[in-house]
Structure 1
Amino acid sequence: MTYDQPPHPASAASALSQPLYGATFGQAVSRFFTKYAVFSGRASRSEYWWWQLANVIISGVLYVLLLVLAFPGAYVDPATGVSQPGPLFILGIALYSIWGLAVLVPNLAIVWRRLHDTNRSGAFFFLAFIPFVGGIILLVFTLLESDPAGARFDA
């Protein structure tokens, strides 16, 4: 009787270059920050969409904080009816902006890797700049199942 040999354990570096299918929320967020500016390799659907959910939640919380910080000290000019936010509004804007800048490059990288997993060049990202339909096309591409031929993009 013969038995197949178990696969050799992959090194940490090669394991990160492979997509993590069935990633949990925590794993996806951790891998997002571990592969901060890595445009090579692939990202599974679960990696991509769990991160997108985390980003929406964090951005939403920061936006609500921005609005909350705008009210203390806010006033409406009785002559013109123009409202002015309070002085803490700038702090809310700063926090929201810092978050947006901090995740700009890694967001581009994870989209690029997600496109690789569907066996498309990351340059398909630029379709998003086509008015009206570009974003929809990119959304459809990120929703597609993984294509094993996308392994050609592995580092």
Structure 2
Amino acid sequence: MDWYLYVLKHYAQFNGRARRKEFWWFTAIDLLLSAILMLFDFVLLSSFGFSGLYGVYWIATLLPSFAVRVRRLHDTNRSGWWLLIAIIPFIGAIVLLVFACSDGTYGKNRFGEDPKKLVS
């Protein structure tokens, strides 16, 4: 949960680097909360004619999720513009998944210091 809150505290910080741990913990908790809110919207609120908690959550976390993805790409010494490869169906998602799973650059790179050394 600490990594999720860390990403939210750095809401729109696109510079720097993000460790795999930061990215994947944020992604896992984000998916879990999204599923819970979608289920809540569908089951409980649809009978009242209102369903928007997931939409509000999605809008609130859109910028931090992009920021952590860009910082994750920076950790692998790639520009944030690589996110645009997701436009290519199927292949783009696979490429981004491989990048997200790849170990970051050891030591300093053009995007900053190694986040593993900063935390340790």
What is the TM-score of this pair, normalised by structure 1? 0.68
Deviates more, 1:60-69 or 1:104-113: 60-69
Shift in Å, 1:31: 1.1
1:110 aligns with 2:85: no
Structure 1: runs of 5+ lacking an equivalent: 1-25, 71-84
After superposing on structure 2, the runs of 4+ consecutive aligned residues of structure 1 that deviate more than 2 Å are: 148-151
- Matches of 2:69 and 2:94, distance apart in 1: 14
Structure 2: runs of 5+ lacking an equivalent: 114-120
Match of 2:38 in 1: 63
Match of 2:23 in 1: 48
Asked whether the 8 Å contact 1:69–1:89 carries over to 2, the reply is: no
Shift in Å, 1:149: 5.9
Q: Report which of the two structures shows the higher radius of gyration computed on alpha carbons.
A: 1
Match of 2:93 in 1: 135
Question: CA-atom RMSD, angstroms?
Answer: 1.6
Higher relative contact order at CA 8 Å, sep ≥6: structure 1 or structure 2? 2
Shift in Å, 1:151: 2.8
What amino acid does structure 2 have at the position aligned with 1:53? A
- Matches of 2:7 and 2:49, distance apart in 1: 30
Percent of residue pairs identical: 37
What is the TM-score of this pair, normalised by structure 2? 0.86
What amino acid does structure 2 have at the position aligned with 1:38? Q
Match of 1:10 in 2: none
Asked whether the 8 Å contact 1:66–1:89 carries over to 2, the reply is: no
Shift in Å, 1:89: 4.0
- Matches of 1:153 and 1:114, distance apart in 2: 11
Number of positions where the alignment pairs a residue of Structure 1 with one of Structure 2: 113
